[in-house]
Amino acid sequence: MSERVNVKKKTPAPGTPETGKTEAGKTETGTKPVEGAVSAAKSEAVLPSLGPVGMLRWAWTQLTSMRTALFLLLLLAVAAVPGSLFPQRPANPAVVTQYIKDHPDYGKVLDALQLYDVYSSAWFSAIYILLFISLIGCVVPRAIVHYKAMRSQPPRTPARLSRLPEYGTLVIPADAGIPASRAIDDAAALLKKRGYRVEVRDRDGARPSLGAERGFLREVGNLVFHTALIGVLVSVAAGGLFGYSGQRILVEGDTFVNTLVGYDQFTPGTNFQSSQLQPYSIQLDKFQITFDRESKGKFGQPIDFKADVTTKENPGAPAEHQVLKVNDPLNLGGTSVYLTGNGYAPVVTVRDAAGNVAMQGPVVAKLQGDNYYSSVVIKVPDAKPEQLAFAGFFLPTAFVTPEGVSFSGDPELFNPQLTLNSYYGDLGLDSGSPQNVFELDVKKLTPLNARNLPTKGIVLTPGATHTLPDGKGTISFDGVKRYVGVDIHHNPGQGYALFFALLAVAGLVTSLYVNRRRAWVRAGSHEDGRTMVEYGLLARGEDHRLAGEAAAVRAMLAAAWPLDEHTEATDDRPATDATEETASQPVPSAKADNDRADTALPGAGAEPASPNHPAEDATQPTAGSTESKKDQ
């Protein structure tokens, strides 16, 4: 808080004109040459250059200011917006490639600006690092200043407590036998019980006093909040550097091993090493879905998903049976395994023209519509002499409209049906180019079966076999299994980020609800033996509860002493003395406080203000403390 010193202005004697002014109040002509000389000196003045060191010091001051930290935090939020507007290469490189092809006019420009790799771009990292440095440079000096303030003594007692926003007086009768020193000791003990840090001054003097202070947790909470923000930044950065995520589809009976080749899709962190993968395994034993069979509006909707799995922490560990459900992930090897999708996988067997089994096993059907209507793509590159392919759809409960259109009437397997078109030719897999397993490019293939061909399409039910035209082979529908999609995440900073986020909330709440307050109590002995006590309170910043605190302090002091409640003014004392000696006196007005500031206690007005002893104000901090420099 700023320090103020009262300076009395000298009033000129009546009839004496002010120095430098005429009687009309206009500036004398003699000052014009002086003003001209000052203006000329200002125009000729040359500011010294900062130099490299001064420029660096200025840049560091600007970077570590709270205003810059808030600006960088806002800038970081704005910089993250393109990550949700444009496809990101780490999430799906194929989508980014297709986006650039679809937008040739500006697609490459966005790529040059790293808008497809926002969170690993140079400009996003620069903002992130600057915010990190700014917060550290802001928190550390403030922590040092606050530590020194906590170790320093409370501010010295102001000369005029009546100038404080909350002020009151108490009178202890002479027959109570409580001298001023004991009154101060009692007040110190009571304030300590309320959490104040107390220092007693001049205990054995004529006017002992004390200074008390509380609410240091406010700044501690503020520092904890900003420190926790740094912790959140570090935790998020650690997760991005050393974490990884991946996806895998598991059909009933399949086993996933946590290795790079075991993932269908894998997204590593910047500093990921394959040695971080723990070799645990997950086997999908059975997947069950519960459908709504009672509600008319939501009939057939899935209401529960349950995957029975067998897990091993490592190859030599014993098997453990667990249940994987939605929003209830498994925790294995430092990773979290989430259930994210499910569907049907028809089991088929494809034989080539020679009768050899070219492909056998479940084929994942991709959900496309209601009641688990799913698309199916089967690629058979091992068929001889020509490679084979099939594309169509799977219906768990097949129905056919009068127009001959098939659809799924229920998500359960009441009448499963597989409807396919067949093709032969070069699938393009031998070139090594990656392909989407759920899509089939038929431009270079020759159709064998289709609805618009004389051979018609292939319609299979479980156990049925269809022979392809021209002796190309056969395809059999052996049965149906269920599959699940799992998301596997490893984020080493996730737990720390949660901890620091909760710590930031706690620090913010503390800084909002804890108030920094100062209190002073001064006592003195009257000529008739009574003990006169005055107190005052002051808040650091806005504090709407300061009046309640003042009332609580007054009640606490009043309960500790037998007060003189019916003292009347006498003719041999000033009226102001009699007013202040009333024990139940309310908080006086500012004018009355200033009028009697020198008469509230005996000897209070005996020593006028002088250059050696200037009038001290209530807002004066501890002399020489770093806090006084901070508040100015």
Q: What is the DSSP string of 382-406?
A: T-SSS-EEEEEEEESBEEE-TTS-E
* Closest-CA residue to 419 (of 355, 348, 353, 352): 348
pLDDT at 541: 81
- 176 touches 583 (CB < 8 A): no
Q: Phi/psi at 358 (nearest 5 deg)?
A: -95, -25
Q: For residues 246 and 37, give the distance between their C-alpha atoms in angstroms, rounded to a whole number.
A: 77
Contact of 426 with 387, CB cutoff 8 Å: yes
Residue 511 makes CB contacts below 8 A (sequence gap 6+) with 218, 219, 221, 222, 225
The pLDDT value recorded for residue 564 is 62
- Report long-range pairs for 72-76 (Cβ below 8 Å, ≥24 apart): 72/127, 72/130, 72/131, 72/134, 73/131, 75/127, 76/124, 76/127, 76/128, 76/131
Indicate whether 153 pLDDT > 80: yes
111 burial via Cβ count (<10 Å: 0-12, 13-18, 19+)? middle
For residue 277, CA distances in Å to 249, 263, 317 come to 19, 12, 16
Proportion of the chain above pLDDT 90, given as a percent = 45
Q: Which amino acid is at 159?
A: A
Of 615, 622, 617, nearest to 199 by C-alpha is 622
Mean pLDDT of the residues in the chain: 82
d(CA 125, CA 120): 7
Task: Indicate the residue type of 335.
Answer: T
CA angle 285, 289, 293 (to 5 degrees): 155
Residue 556 has pLDDT above 80, yes or no: yes
Angle between helices 216-242 and 122-151 (to 10 degrees): 150
For residue 254, give both structure tokens: 């399949």
More confident: 404 or 539: 539
pLDDT digits (tens, 9 = 90+) for 316-355: 889 999 999 998 999 998 899 999 989 999 999 999 999 9
Six token digits for residue 612: 């050696």
Who wins on pLDDT, 405 or 347? 347
Least confident of 127-131, 191-195, 292-296, 513-517: 292-296
The more confidently predicted of residues 396 and 630 is 396
359 contacts 474 by C-beta, under 8 angstroms? no
User: 41 or 612, which is more confident?
Assistant: 41
The C-alpha atoms of residue 629 and residue 632 are separated, in whole angstroms, by 6
Listed range (212-221, 501-510, 537-546, 618-627) with the worst mean pLDDT? 618-627
Angle between helices 180-193 and 546-560 (to 10 degrees): 130
pLDDT reported for residue 90:
75
Roughly how many angstroms between the first and final C-alpha of the chain, as a whole number? 6
User: What integer pLDDT is reported at residue 126 of this predicted model?
Assistant: 92
Query: Cα(457)–Cα(449) distance, rounded to whole angstroms?
Result: 5
Q: What is the three-class DSSP state of 129?
A: helix
Q: What is the pLDDT of residue 521?
A: 96
pLDDT at 283: 95
Burial bucket for residue 463 (CB in 10 Å: 0-12, 13-18, 19+)? exposed
Q: How confident is the model at residue 32 (pLDDT cuts 50, 70, 90)?
A: low
pTM here is: 0.65
Instruction: State the DSSP code for 175.
Output: G
Q: Identify the residue with better confidence: 67 or 628.
A: 67
- Helices 494-513 and 216-242 sit at what angle, rounded to 10 degrees? 160
For residues 332 and 335, what is the distance between their CA atoms, to the nearest angstrom? 5
State how beta strands 465-467 and 458-460 pair: unpaired
| Angle, CA of 339, 299 and 374, to the nearest 5° | 55
Helix 66-79 vs helix 122-151: angle between axes, to the nearest 10 degrees?
150
**Which residue pairs, CB below 8 angstroms and at least 24 apart, start in 54-59?**
none
Of 137, 145, 133, 135, the C-alpha closest to 220 is 145
**What average pLDDT does range 565-592 have in this prediction?**
37
Q: Return the pLDDT at 364.
A: 95
Residue 598, pLDDT > 90, answer no
Over residues 422-436, mean pLDDT? 85
Write down the domain spans for the chain. Answer: 51-147, 152-215+515-631, 244-490
* Confidence bin at 15 (pLDDT 50/70/90): very low
The residue among 213, 185, 293, 218 whose CA lies nearest residue 523 is 185
Higher pLDDT, 353 or 564: 353
Query: pLDDT band at residue 187, thresholds of 50, 70 and 90?
Result: very high
Q: Which residues does residue 524 pair with via DSSP β-bridges, in sequence order?
A: 532
Residue 138 confidence class, pLDDT cut points 50, 70, 90: confident
Residue 622 pLDDT greater than 70, yes or no:
no
Rounded CA separation 502/73 (Å): 19
Band of pLDDT at residue 568, cut at 50, 70 and 90: very low
Query: What is the three-class DSSP state of 207?
Result: coil
* pLDDT score of 133 more than 80: yes
613: amino acid identity, one letter? H
Q: Are 401 and 394 in contact (CB under 8 A)?
A: no
DSSP structure string for 416-461: -EEEEEEEEE--S-TT-----TT----TTEEEEE-TTSTT--EEE-
pLDDT value, residue 565: 56
- Token match 């269908």: residue? 264
- Write down the pLDDT at residue 478: 95
At 551, which amino acid appears? A
Q: Where on the phi/psi map is residue 114: left (φ > 0), alpha (ψ -120 to 50), or beta?
A: left
